[in-house]
Amino acid sequence: MYTQCPECQTRFRVTATQLSAANGEVCCGTCETEFNALDSLTDEVPDIKSDNNHRGEVPDIKSDNNHRGEVPDFNSDDHHRGEFIEPEPDDELESPEGPAREPKRLPPWLGAKLEPDLSEEIPAPAPSRESTIAAVVLAIVLVVQLLHYNRDSLAAHPQYGGIVRGFYTSLGLALYPEWRLSSFEVRGTEAVARGGPTPALNILAKVLVVSAQPVGMPLIRIVLRDRWSDPVASGIFRPVEYVRNNANLPNTLQPGTTLPIDISVADPGAEARGYVVDVCLPRRTTGLQCQLAKDPFR
């Protein structure tokens, strides 16, 4: 089959495979004009119009010795003109008149790149029961690990903290709820010397819960200082040590609660001239964190 460029009249030999590659859309290799090869498709080499209105006949390209011959060059005659197919390098055959040439094949196609049809994708196989159970178990394990990693912050949550603290208490595991130190405020401190066979110093104070959420019972740190404000002695006291009536200590303190502090220490003598009451909370990473002391263990 043959087709012809409508712009420069160059003729090309085409095949059905080439035509179906891009629905007939081609590009002329001579003038680079884009056209549809189906519009001028024919089984014979198209006729060529010359300047003096003569029409040239394309002779039989087969020679007597069964070799393929070359289409004659119509430009050699004065009364014919036209453009013919150039030879292909791999299809040259010998003929009595010289090497035969095949008509030039169609230049590169212009058709858009074909994409796979995704409209009828094969559905993925449904997961098996075993894989579904394994995925559920893995998800549960990941959730449990995430909750355990954040157990201290969850233990201080105003809504879920009680559940978390009760669960870890039933397992016998220690918790360090991340209560805020800013939730406490020390007020009305006082030191009273007590005589007797064993002289002692009673330190009294009040700790007010100023947060909007319930908080746990804090630790109290007492530091005795000399006249140069250097520490003479220090100690950290738990709730059962600084609350007089400690039979029914609450797990948490509600907002606005005033916690009375009453701590008795051995009389340090004349060397101690002052004291400091500091509020502290236990921490998992640092051990202890206080409002005033940067290093409470010194």
Q: What does the alpha-carbon distance between residue 108 and residue 21 come to, in Å, rounded to a whole number?
A: 11
Largest CA distance in the chain: 146
Question: What is the per-residue pLDDT for 97?
Answer: 53
Question: What is the per-residue pLDDT for 108?
Answer: 54
pTM for this entry: 0.55
Question: What is the per-residue pLDDT for 100?
Answer: 53
3-state secondary structure of 82: coil
Concatenated DSSP letters of 167-214: HHHHTT--------GGGEEEEEEEEEEE-SSS-EEEEEEEEEE-SSS-
Question: Which residues, other chains included, contact 120 with Cβ-Cβ below 8 Å and sequence gap of 6+?
Answer: none
Question: What is the per-residue pLDDT for 28?
Answer: 78
Question: Which residues, other chains included, contact 146 with Cβ-Cβ below 8 Å and sequence gap of 6+?
Answer: none
59: nearest Cα among 95, 14, 105, 91: 95
Cβ neighbour number for residue 287 with a 10 Å cutoff: 11
Q: How far is CA 12 from the centre of its chain?
A: 55
3-state secondary structure of 21: helix
Q: Are 253 and 214 in contact (CB under 8 A)?
A: yes
4: nearest Cα among 45, 32, 49, 63: 45
Per-residue pLDDT tens, the chain, 298 aa: give them: 778 888 888 877 777 777 776 677 777 777 777 777 777 777 776 565 544 443 444 444 343 444 444 444 434 444 444 444 444 444 444 444 555 555 555 445 454 333 444 555 667 788 888 999 999 999 999 999 999 999 999 999 999 999 999 999 999 999 999 999 999 999 989 998 887 788 888 999 999 999 999 999 999 999 999 989 899 899 999 999 999 887 788 889 999 999 999 999 988 888 888 999 999 999 999 899 999 988 887 7
The domain covering 181-290 belongs, at the CATH homologous superfamily level, to abc- transporter (atp binding component) like domain (2.70.50.60)
Q: What does the alpha-carbon distance between residue 91 and residue 105 come to, in Å, rounded to a whole number?
A: 11
